[in-house]
Amino acid sequence: MADATPKANPEMVRCTIDGMELEVPKGTRILDAAAMAGVDVPHYCYHPGLSAPAQCRMCLVEVEKAPKLQPSCTATVADGNVIHTQSEKALEARTGVLEFYLVNHPLDCPVCDQSGECKLQDYVAQEGRAMGRLLEPKRVQGRDDFGGDVLFNADRCVMCTRCVRFMREVAQDERLAVVQRGHRNVIDTFFDEGLEGNIWADNIVDLCPVGALVSKDFLHKARAWDLDRSPSICPNCTQGCNVRLETRDNAVMRIKPRPNEAVNSHWMCDFGRLNYEWINREGRIEAPLVREGDRLVGVSWADALTRLAGALRDAPVRDARAVVSPFMANEDAGALRRVMQVAGGGTGVYRCETGEEVVLPGFPTLALRNDRAANVHGVELFGFTRTGGADGVGGLEEAAAHRGVLFVLGDELADAPADFGAGAALYVYVGHFASPAARNAHFILPATTFAEMEGTFTNIQRRVQRFWPAIQAPGMARPAWQILGVLLAGISDAAPVGTAADAFQALASVRPEFGGLDYAGLAQGGAVLPSFAEAGD
């Protein structure tokens, strides 16, 4: 008779953490195993994207039968380990470490940019001494401009060396070092060479667990507890870094990276991080406008789309042209392609600024890509071809001279001639700003930006990733997929789309690859389009 006793998995080990039994892969750090059990072990120097030097001594835990406390960021779980993260010995050790950190740390929390998201604040509140015992005056060190967007407050530094290790291991541009010895230790740049010119340098601000490294751009702009945070995708190149849009008063205050090991790990470039003011730009189109003679008249959405549907049905020339912005979502571009198919077919173009590609050496699948817009590959999948120069201008001659139906989706047309579209039988502008060229349109329909809507982008890996709304749209602006979806229902037997999920599902009628993706599942880091995943692209 066969033995029915289940055999232990040799690749897994069993342990007990704070009374909770669990099984983890062999080689798992104690700190990571504790996180799996829902236990947060305090730490400074450890970061999942860097090496672990075990020098901050904050993550000490007690392991039964071990002769002394173990640094949980380097010690791995052994089979049968019984680990206590909240034992008297562990707590006493962490309290002592925190007291040392506060010997010279300034108590300037009210004016520190890190206040509200500072690990020193959190740990001292949880486990630190109620009162300090040091009578000597604190050592005062000044502020140092590291160059680029980074300022260094030496007296706040807890010497976790995350910044030094990032520049050495990930950026592979060793511009930072620990200088001096003992209590005189300080982070400094080499000679007169600062962080200027390295587009990955702002990641050290994210890594800093206290307020030692701060961003000049964000300095004294907002408090952490005033910010709302929404998951999104960086719109500034085809890498598609996973980010958070951090907002206040309906404006983006800063952009921070979100972890996604398949796309950007824990990092993002400074170009994408600091290029967000265009999202907050004022002067947006706030209501649908319809041409009546020489005037553009504000109307309701129902009136505008009813009249536009009638104009499309009655258009004398059944041939469409389109100009599409690669900053628009897959759902927007796909909805426009469906409208063009019903309106008689036609071609479309997009324009995109390009620049030098800069790879992150320590994570080479991440780069600031040549194409400086998020959805270049998405609009190409829906049949729109590139035009114009490397600066993202020009190439609109054919569209400007078109006599049939002309659509413009998202492109501001800032460089277009003043008579752009004047000869078109029907000119429809769906976008954000009413430039002189846009004001020639018969219908001007206000659309949301990516920051005001839900949708997806397709990155350079052909990975489709979701983003969510972070700020409110101005006036009557609506997502372009919603506008075009209602229009499509008015000129065909297509069902109107009510949600972003519906709009995404409808993409399969244009590109069947999208039918193989689960919209809800994309929230977990996105997914590569099936045809490209099979091809290994």
| Token representation of residue 217 | 């751009």
The answer to whether the beta carbons of residues 461 and 528 sit under 8 Å apart is yes
Round to the nearest angstrom and report the end-to-end CA distance of the chain.
50
Longest dimension (CA), the chain: 93
| Token representation of residue 164 | 């030094």
Q: What is the pLDDT of residue 3?
A: 53
**C-alpha count within 13 angstroms, C-beta hemisphere, residue 4:** 1
DSSP strands (E only) in 280-375: 289-292, 295-298, 320-324, 346-350, 358-359, 367-368
From first to last of its 537 residues, the chain has per-residue pLDDT tens of 445 545 567 789 999 999 999 999 999 999 999 999 999 999 999 999 999 999 899 999 999 999 999 999 999 999 999 999 999 999 999 999 999 998 889 988 999 999 999 999 999 999 998 888 888 888 888 889 999 999 999 999 999 999 999 999 999 999 999 998 887 889 999 867 889 999 999 999 999 999 999 999 999 999 999 999 999 999 999 999 999 999 999 999 999 999 999 999 999 999 999 999 999 999 999 999 999 999 999 999 999 999 999 999 887 767 899 999 999 999 999 999 999 999 888 999 999 999 999 999 999 999 999 999 999 999 999 999 999 999 999 999 999 999 999 999 999 999 999 899 999 999 999 999 999 999 999 999 999 999 999 999 999 999 999 999 999 999 999 999 999 999 999 999 888 899 999 999 999 999 999 999 999 999 999 999 998 766 554
Residue 62 pairs with which residues in a beta bridge? 84
Triad 131, 222, 228: Cα angle to 5°: 100
Question: Does the model's pTM come out above 0.75?
Answer: yes
User: Which pairs count as long-range contacts for 418-427, CB under 8 Å and 24+ apart, including other chains?
Assistant: 420/396, 425/315, 425/316, 425/317, 426/311, 426/312, 426/315
Alpha carbon 39 to chain centroid distance?
27
| Token representation of residue 369 | 């890509």
d(CA 20, CA 28): 16
Q: Which domains does the chain have, with CATH numbers?
A: 12-100 (3.10.20.740), 107-117+134-226 (3.30.70.20), 289-535 (3.40.50.740)
Sequence-distant (≥ 6) Cβ neighbours of residue 526 within 8 angstroms: 240, 260, 262, 263, 459, 463, 464, 465, 466
The answer to whether the beta carbons of residues 171 and 364 sit under 8 Å apart is no
DSSP 467-513: E---SPPSTT-B-HHHHHHHHHHHHSSPPPP-SHHHHHHHGGGT-GG
Q: Where are the alpha helices (DSSP H) in 349-414?
A: 376-381, 397-401
The answer to whether the beta carbons of residues 444 and 409 sit under 8 Å apart is no
Taking phi over 0 as left and psi of -120 to 50 as alpha, with beta for the rest, 312 belongs to: alpha
Q: What is the pLDDT of residue 104?
A: 86
Q: What is the pLDDT of residue 148?
A: 93
Q: What is the pLDDT of residue 6?
A: 52
User: Which pairs count as long-range contacts for 450-454, CB under 8 Å and 24+ apart, including other chains?
Assistant: 450/232, 450/233, 450/235, 450/327, 450/328, 450/329, 450/374, 451/232, 451/245, 451/252, 451/279, 452/477, 452/479, 453/329, 453/479, 453/500, 454/479, 454/500
For residue 209, give the DSSP letter.
S
Residue 532 has φ and ψ, to the nearest 5°, of -80, -35
